[in-house]
Each structure stands twice: as C-alpha cells, then as structure tokens.
C-alpha cells in the first residue's frame, strides 16, 4: 500500500478504537485452537505459510475503491466457527464502538452529542437553541473560548434584524450617515431603485436606467417630454450695485465670444443668459467653462441687484475663487452658531433629585441587545438632511467686500432644479401645476407665521400673481415649447402638486379645448416678445420665503390623513392648506440654436424650487407620463443638438483637463484587464493615443508645418510613416526634434464668433450626409493671404466641428480625423457610396522588447535564488565594482531597461512620435462624441480639429470636395468619408 493511502487510512481511523486482539493465532475460525493442515511435511507447511504470508502481505491492508481481486481481503470462508470465541470477539467490538460514540474529545463541540437531525449551525451562535441539559456546558465552553489567549476577544455587536433596520428612524439614521461623503439629491432614493448610480463630482447620481430605454428616451425628447434632476448644479448668488457688479464681471468675459452679463434682455431679468467665463483679463486663453446666469428683475427706485450664476460642480472649484478675486470679497462671514441643546444638558439644568450611581450591571453590553430602550427615545428624532450633508456647519458660505459692498453667497443645494426636455414640456407643466388659490378673509385677518397669508394682504402682490397666472394659462394654447423665445423666465406661485395627483399615470397631451379658449393675440405676443418684465418676478429670490416654505411643508403622513377625511375619496382637499403654496421659477431652455436643420430641437423648461420640495414635485411629474433620463441622456441631448458638453468637450479648461485624465486612467485600466490576446493592438492599427487626445502636440505640429511651408514637410512625413522603419528610434528622435522647437503658447478652442463664422463659410456648410449646400452670406475667398492673416491670430487653436459620415459606419470615441489624398477624392468622385481607403498595418516595434523583458525577469528571479545561496561565499571574494573595467555599463543597462518596464502590449509608450504624420493620412484632430444619430439617420460625430490643419486642407482641396475628410476608429483600419460642418 502506498504512503498516501496509509496516511488517508490513518486520518480516517484516528478516532476509531484499537483492533481487537485474539488469544488464538488464527482469527478466521473464531476458535481457541489454530487449525493445522492434515497431511504434508513440515517443509510444505513452511512453504505454504511463507507463501500465505507473502500473499497476505501483498493483498492485506485497507484498499480504497472497487478492485477485481476483491480489494485484498480473503475470499475463502472458514470451515467452522466456535460460538464462544466468536461471541467474545463481537462483544469486544461492540463495547469499543459504544465507547467511541459516547466519548467526546476536546476538539468536538457540545452539540456534537446531539443526533444528526438536531444539529444546526445556528446552535453554535445561540446557545438558547440547544436543549436545556446542554446549555450550561455550552456557555462554559463559550466563556473559555472568549478568555483564551493573552488578549480577550472582543465580542462582535449583533446587527439589527432587517425589520428593525427598515424602521423609519433607523433608516433615516443610516441615510444620514451615508451622506457624509457624497451629497445625495432629494430624488436619490427614487433613482437608486431604478438607476445605476455613480459617484461623481462629490455627488451620488443616476447614470442610466436599469431597463433598456435608449430609443424611448430619444422619442420623448423629440415628441413628448424627458425629465432630469439637475439639482447637482451649483448656484452662486451675487448682490450689490448694478454698475459695480458689471464692472467686476466684465473682467471674466469678452464680447468677441458672444453676449456677456451686460446683455440688455438678460440684464432686465426677462431672459436667462449663457456666457463663457475666463480668468480675469486672460481672454482668449485660460478659459474656465460655460455658465448660465439670471438677473432678478429691477425693483422701483433701487439700483441694488441680485444675480444667480449656475455652474457645473467641477467648474465651481475654479469659478468661486475667481469671483472672490474680481469682486474683492475676501472677508468670510461665518454662519451663526446655533447652540444644540441635548437632553442630557436639559436634564442637568433642571433641579431634581441626585441621580443614583450606575452599577456595572446597568452598563450596556455591546452586541447583546438589538432593540432600543424607551430611554433612548427621549432624545430628539433624527431629521432628514436637506442640502449639502458633507459641508461642516462652520464652513463659510458668504463672503462680502468692504470696498464695494458686493456680497457672494454659495447657494449650492439650497434649491432644486428639474429640467424638462421636449416639445410637450409646457403641457406637462400645465397639467401638473396650478396657480395658487387666494386665502379667505378669515385667514387674512388673523396673524400667521406662514408667508402666503401675509402675502395675500398686499393688493399689488395679488394683482401681480393674477397676471402671472394668466400668462401661465396662455402656455396651454401653445403647440410646442420651441415656439417660445429662448431663455424666457416666468415667476409663479403654485399649489402643492400632491393635491392633484392622479390615481394612475396619464400621458399629458395638449388640450384642444383650452387652446381654443386662449386669445390668439396674447398667444402671438407671448411667442414673439416673451413674458413681460414684471411677470418675471418671484418670491423664490428671497431667502426668508424659501426657508419658510421649506420649514412648513406638509408631511406625507399628515397629507394622507387629511385625504382620508375627504367625503369623496380621490377628490381635492378644500380649502387648500395654507402650507401648500410654493414659489417657483420657470426658465425656458433653448434647443438647437446652431446649423440649418432641426431648429429648436430639444427645447424645454427648467423648474426652480425651494429645497425640501423635490419629491413633492417629482412624483406628480412622473405621473404625467414623462421619461426619466440620467447623466448619459444629458450627453446624448448635447450630441443631438450639436453642442459641446461640459466637461467632456472642453479640453482647454481645467475641469476638462481633469476629466480627460480620469477618463484616460479608466479606459487604460479597462484595457489592461483584458488578456493581451483578446484586446486590440493599437500599435499595429497606427493609433498613438486611443485613450486620450494630445491636443497641445497636435496644435504645435500643425503650426510648425504651416510655418515652414508645409507641403514638402508633409510629403516627407507621409513617406516616412508608410515605409516601416526597422526600429522605432527614428520616430522618437523626430518627435524630440519637434518638441525642441515647440512654442511656449498653449492651445485654445476658437470661440471668436466672427472668426468661427468665417471659417464655417470656407467649409461650405451642407445638410446632413452632405446632400446639398446651405445658403450662407458673403464670405471672402480663401487664399494664401487670407489664410496667413487668419492664422496670425488663431494659429494655436482648435475648432469645434460636426462630422457626418457619407456612407455606413458608426464613429467611436477618439476616432481620428484625417486629410484625404488626391487619390481618395478621385475615388469619392467615381463612387459616391465608397467605403473609403484602408490603413496599411503597422509594425509593432515593442513586441520583442516585451518578450525579452519577460525572459529577463524570469532569469533575474532564477539568478536571485542562486545568489542567495552563494551570498555567504561571495563575501570572501573581491567586489565586482573593483574588478569591472567599465563601471558605466551597469548604469547604461539600468537606463536602457527602465523605459521597457513601462511598456504595455499594444500601446505606444511616452513620449509619442509625430501625431499628425504617423499614419498614411495626415491627422487633423479627434472625435470626442460619436454614435449613430437617430435624427440624421447616419453616423455623426462631434470633435475638435486644428485650425491650421483645417485651413491648409481646405486651401488644397477642389471646390466641389471642400470640407471632405476621412474618419477612422481607433480599433479599425478602415477609413470612412465624412463631411465637416462648423455650425454657427
């Protein structure tokens, strides 16, 4: 029997009794005397005994499994059995078996003595599940195990049962604890049940739904309504004199990039504006990002103004310090310290009997109780966090200036902002919201702590409220949201929308009867001129009113109790509770404003509410049949509008740089998780940067190409890239030559409106798929002198473009935009639906290095083991450095091996060679958004290209093919023809 079988037998038989010993030599017959063979001499007996011993030694022992020869056990039956010996042998075995069963060893638990059908794992954790006769022994063993060792084991606290955890108080405490690191929106619980949540920008946001709804969301944006929660956008409030505010804010903007904070319509408070913000006095370089702003309408005989600036949370990090600098608001106003009186302090102030000393038995034992005592309920109940739960109470949110009197308030998470996208957004609002009803005379006469009864006492305010309600009624007669002027603002006070909540979901559609009742002249006036200035006023601007509405909101429990007392179930409460009046602001969001197609697509409304009322408005809006979108739908909305999305498409802003770095790390980690044989080799595909876009290097190379006369340099670089070099060192040196002469200026995105309009005319804008050219105004001809003067001002710039594929294909992220050759344009002229040329496969120069690195690592591991063994002997020998004739060889070896340690199979290492002339077609730029467009019916992409490269390309192209480029995805060798459009 092998040693492994012997060990296995010993392991299985370790707890079994010893073998029964017999007084006789033969255990087969069970008798007292051994059997002897009749006949035969002693030699034969000796021989047979020897053979029997050998055969028994060969076949004996424990054998696992089935064997043909019986597994080594004797097959012959005994000739006779002696009853007495047989009974004694069996009795010994039975007594040994009973002894083994009843005896418990030290390693066995006490419940091991139980029958098998009663043994449960839960008994080892809770001794009360054991029978009463075994509990004492089990408790003693449990105490010994806790006291074993030098350190006493800390008893783990028992987790509360699920029923206890789901109680409202405990659930609220858990939610408040989880909001300490990431801010939760008021609709977080609703989204968490239906969306994939991500942690971004300090918030926990819904990215995409758990169900498939890409096409339904697009249909909602095109024909009905899509709802999004944009409460994570940050609001910064500025207060001060109008001329001082404009003087400070003028340092951050420029009229060349579009309307500023001082635009007439926006300054009056009738329209919301948008502007690109730069660092103070640094235009056109150092941009920060886009913001939207809203002025409060002027009040009579007052020059004091109020301004709200809405910015993305990543932009707020750079914008708020810049605003403090230009407004000279360096003095932080600390929030008032509100003393929190705990029940223990209250009890100590009241004179009462002295408290008895706590006995050790009275102390709470951790992990013994899962229910709270009634004494614990005496404390104040936990409150739901409204606003930013990660902010410390001592963090300043207000800054003022002692020189100009400007005050800056950080109103982040102080208001709720919902966005409704689609042509029927106003129909959804008209069915969900109702203008607030007036108070009766009895409530007006009595003093009240609520804001609405005091508001109703002023006749002028009620007249304004009635005019705003009339304007809101006119909205019901408008067919589409896109018919209204962009940025229109309407202030309104509405009743609690929970009072008119339908019993089931109903899709809100425009009502024909209400449209006929509306006066056509008033409707036409609203569509042409927008809302009158005095109707743009709202009490949402006042901090006291916002706090009053938030603090006095009716709870769901109280509202349900009031509804249950209504005589007719499902009818509206009458009269309306005084706490159910909410001031809101309706801000119109323009849709697509650039290009010649799909004008006003994606228009909608933004609803601004006081904090605490998020779910009270969210659920009624959902019950009107709207679709809910996440962060990915915001990106698709921008893509269909042809507008850049922040921070994805702003590579020259600090927030855009941070986003691209995070995106590169994320994509690289995803790439490395796949095995080398199952991922794309981007070196062979001629893609230098599949996970990022080196805009700075691209702008520098194109400026150098154009400056040195371009054509000869491009031909040399093209031939150099097509003829594959034996090593990559030549490309590395060419890259070093380019970087040695790089200009110190940094690239920027071209946002000068006149220059963008001129560049758009030179590109010959056309409709989708390049079917027909669009009409443009008079554009000066493109020649060398015009190109030279244009590049003098915008040589280091990139421009935002829209690319439309002429045939099949779907653009992907970071696809390369390239210049077609003359042969490519001839192919396009010959075959209109041609797929395009193909990139010849490149050679992977780093594959051999990676293989040699793996071999060297294995060798070094082997040599390190051998060197450890000979370490003691090597101490007697002279040092290697003294005997080495060339001490620099080891350093050279280290330096040569250091770059190979950063190599990743399929990716180019840093520094990159020439990004413009690496492939057979010269690169112009990259794609930042790309997908199949449901609106255009073809593949569309949005990206950035070099201004120098684009002008050089347009100048060398024939007029009929001007604006044609090639597009190639990073994981493909196939080029696709595309048409460039710069939409203004």
Q: Higher pLDDT residue, 276 or 706?
A: 276
The pLDDT mean for the chain works out to 79
Would you give the DSSP letter of residue 71? G
Report whether 414 contacts 235 (CB < 8 A): yes
Question: What pLDDT shows up at residue 767?
Answer: 65
Report in angstroms the alpha-carbon separations of 892 from 518, 861, 889, 897: 86, 21, 5, 8
The dihedral through the CA atoms of 815, 821, 698, 594 has a sign that is negative
Question: What pLDDT shows up at residue 103?
Answer: 67
Q: Where are the domains of the chain?
A: 3-102, 110-154, 234-336+381-409, 415-641, 654-841+916-981, 843-876
Tell me the range of 489-498, 855-864, 867-876 where mean pLDDT is highest. Answer: 489-498
Q: Which residues, 6 or more positions from 689, have their beta carbon under 8 angstroms from its beta carbon?
A: 814, 908, 912, 915
Question: What pLDDT shows up at residue 162?
Answer: 86
Question: What pLDDT shows up at residue 339?
Answer: 54
The answer, yes or no, to whether residue 933 has pLDDT greater than 70, is yes
Question: What pLDDT shows up at residue 715?
Answer: 55
Taking the C-alpha atoms of residue 915 and residue 705, their distance in angstroms, rounded to an integer, is 12
The backbone torsions φ and ψ at residue 957, rounded to the nearest 5 degrees and listed phi first, read: -95, 150
Element (H, E) at 319: helix 313-326
The answer, yes or no, to whether residue 73 has pLDDT greater than 60, is no
- Mutual angle of helices 631-641 and 214-223, in 10-degree steps: 50
Name the token pair of 11. 């392991």
Average pLDDT (626-652) is 92
Tell me the range of 155-169, 657-671, 757-771 where mean pLDDT is highest. Answer: 657-671
pLDDT grade for 566, boundaries at 50, 70 and 90: confident
Name the token pair of 785. 């002198």
Cis link prior to 816 (omega < 30° from 0)?
Answer: no
Q: Are strands 331-333 and 273-278 parallel, antiparallel or unpaired?
A: unpaired
Determine how many CB atoms are found less than 10 A away from the CB of residue 342: 10
Q: Which residues, 6 or more positions from 339, have their beta carbon under 8 angstroms from its beta carbon?
A: none
Report whether 436 contacts 578 (CB < 8 A): no
Tokens 């594929």 found at: 805
pTM: 0.75
The answer, yes or no, to whether residue 631 has pLDDT greater than 90, is yes
Cis link prior to 284 (omega < 30° from 0)?
Answer: yes
Report whether 225 contacts 604 (CB < 8 A): yes
Taking the C-alpha atoms of residue 204 and residue 389, their distance in angstroms, rounded to an integer, is 12
Q: Using one digit for the tens of pLDDT, what is the confidence trace for 791-826?
A: 888 888 999 999 999 888 899 999 999 999 999 888
Name the token pair of 44. 């034969």
pLDDT grade for 865, boundaries at 50, 70 and 90: low
Spell out the alpha helix ranges (H) of 237-291.
242-249, 264-267
Q: Using one digit for the tens of pLDDT, what is the confidence trace for 787-800?
A: 888 888 888 899 99
The answer, yes or no, to whether residue 739 has pLDDT greater than 70, is no
């Amino acid at each position: 029997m092998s040693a492994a079988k012997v060990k296995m037998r010993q392991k299985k038989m370790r707890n079994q009794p010893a073998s029964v010993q017999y007084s006789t030599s033969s255990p087969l017959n069970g008798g007292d005397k051994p059997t002897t063979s009749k006949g035969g001499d002693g030699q034969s007996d000796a021989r047979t005994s020897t053979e029997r011993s050998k055969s028994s030694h060969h076949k004996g022992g424990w054998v696992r499994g089935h064997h043909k020869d019986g597994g080594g056990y004797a097959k012959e039956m005994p000739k006779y059995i002696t009853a007495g010996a047989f009974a004694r042998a069996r009795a010994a075995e039975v007594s040994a078996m009973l002894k083994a069963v009843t005896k418990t060893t030290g390693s066995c638990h006490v419940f091991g003595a139980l029958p098998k059908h009663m043994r449960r794992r839960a008994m080892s954790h809770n001794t009360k599940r054991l029978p009463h006769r075994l509990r004492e022994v089990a408790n003693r063993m449990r105490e010994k195990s806790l006291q074993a060792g030098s350190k006493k084991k800390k008893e783990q606290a028992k987790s509360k049962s699920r029923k206890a955890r789901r109680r409202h108080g405990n659930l609220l405490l858990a939610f408040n604890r989880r909001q300490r690191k990431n801010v939760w929106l008021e609709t977080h619980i609703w989204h968490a049940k239906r969306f994939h949540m991500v942690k971004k920008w300090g918030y926990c946001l819904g990215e995409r739904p758990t169900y498939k709804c890409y096409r339904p969301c697009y249909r909602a944006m095109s024909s009905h309504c899509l709802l999004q929660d944009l409460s994570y956008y940050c609001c910064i409030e500025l207060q001060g004199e109008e001329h001082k505010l404009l003087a400070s804010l003028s340092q951050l903007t420029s009229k060349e990039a579009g309307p500023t904070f001082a635009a007439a319509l926006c300054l009056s408070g009738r329209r919301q504006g948008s502007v690109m913000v730069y660092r103070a006095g640094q235009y056109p370089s150092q941009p920060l990002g886009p913001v939207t702003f809203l002025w409060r309408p002027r009040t009579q005989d007052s020059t004091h103004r109020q301004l709200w600036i809405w910015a993305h949370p990543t932009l707020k990090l750079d914008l708020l310090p810049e605003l403090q600098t230009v407004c000279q608001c360096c003095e932080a106003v600390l929030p008032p310290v509100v003393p929190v009186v705990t029940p223990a302090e209250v009890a100590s102030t009241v004179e009462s009997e002295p408290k008895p000393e706590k006995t050790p038995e009275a102390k709470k034992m951790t992990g013994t109780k899962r229910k709270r005592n009634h004494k614990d309920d005496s404390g104040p109940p936990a409150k739901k966090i409204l606003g930013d739960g990660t902010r410390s109470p001592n963090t300043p949110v207000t800054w003022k200036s002692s020189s100009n009197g400007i005050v800056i308030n950080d109103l982040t998470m102080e208001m709720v902002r919902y966005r409704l996208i689609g042509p029927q957004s106003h129909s959804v609002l008209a069915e969900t919201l109702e203008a607030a009803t007036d108070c009766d005379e009895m409530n007006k006469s009595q003093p009240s702590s609520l804001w609405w009864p005091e508001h109703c006492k002023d006749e002028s305010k009620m007249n304004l409220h009635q005019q705003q309600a009339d304007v809101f009624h006119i909205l019901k007669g408008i067919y589409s949201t896109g018919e209204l002027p962009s940025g229109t603002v309407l202030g309104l006070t509405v009743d609690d929308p929970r009072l008119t909540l339908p019993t089931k979901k109903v899709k809100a559609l425009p009502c024909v009867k209400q449209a006929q009742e509306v006066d056509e002249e008033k409707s036409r006036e609203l569509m042409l001129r927008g809302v009158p200035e005095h109707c743009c006023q709202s009490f949402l601007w006042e901090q006291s009113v916002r706090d009053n509405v938030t603090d006095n909101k009716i709870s769901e429990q109280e509202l349900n109790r009031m509804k249950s007392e209504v005589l007719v179930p499902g009818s509206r409460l009458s009269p309306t509770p005084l706490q159910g009046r909410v001031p809101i602001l309706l801000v119109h969001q323009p849709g697509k404003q650039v290009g010649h197609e799909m004008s006003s697509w994606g228009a909608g409304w933004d609803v601004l509410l006081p904090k605490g009322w998020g779910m009270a408005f969210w659920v009624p809006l959902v019950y009107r049949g709207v679709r809910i979108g996440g962060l990915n739908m915001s990106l698709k909305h921008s893509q269909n509008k042809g507008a850049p999305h922040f921070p994805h498409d702003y590579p020259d802003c600090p927030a855009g740089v941070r986003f691209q770095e995070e995106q590169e790390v994320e994509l690289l980690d995803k790439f490395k998780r796949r095995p080398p044989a199952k991922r794309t080799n981007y070196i062979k595909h001629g893609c230098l940067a599949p996970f990022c876009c080196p805009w700075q290097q691209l702008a520098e190379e194109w400026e150098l190409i154009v400056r040195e006369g371009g054509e000869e340099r491009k031909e040399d670089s093209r031939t150099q890239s097509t003829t594959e070099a034996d090593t990559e060192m030549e490309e590395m040196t060419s890259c070093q030559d380019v970087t040695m002469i790089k200009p110190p200026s940094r690239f920027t995105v071209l946002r000068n409106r006149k220059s963008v309009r001129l560049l758009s005319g030179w590109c010959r804008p056309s409709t989708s798929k390049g079917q027909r050219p669009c009409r443009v105004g008079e554009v000066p001809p493109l020649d060398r002198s015009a190109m030279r003067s244009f590049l003098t001002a915008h040589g280091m710039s990139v421009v935002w473009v829209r690319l439309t594929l002429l045939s099949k294909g779907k653009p992907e992220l970071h696809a390369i935009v390239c210049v077609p050759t003359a042969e490519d344009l001839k192919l396009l002229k010959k075959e209109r639906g041609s797929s395009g040329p193909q990139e010849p496969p490149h050679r992977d120069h780093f594959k051999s290095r990676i293989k040699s690195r793996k071999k060297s690592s294995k060798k070094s591991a082997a040599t390190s083991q051998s060197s450890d063994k000979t370490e003691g002997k090597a101490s007697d020998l002279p040092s290697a450095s003294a005997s080495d004739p060339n001490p620099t060889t080891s350093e050279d070896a280290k330096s040569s091996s250091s770059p190979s340690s950063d190599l990743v199979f399929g990716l180019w290492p840093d520094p990159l060679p020439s990004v413009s002339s690496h492939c057979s077609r010269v690169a112009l730029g990259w794609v930042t958004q790309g997908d199949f467009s449901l609106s255009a019916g073809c593949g569309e992409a949005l990206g950035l290209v070099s201004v120098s490269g684009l002008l050089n390309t347009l100048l060398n192209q024939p007029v009929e093919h001007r604006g044609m480029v090639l597009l190639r995805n990073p994981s493909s060798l196939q080029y696709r023809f595309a048409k460039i459009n710069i939409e203004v």
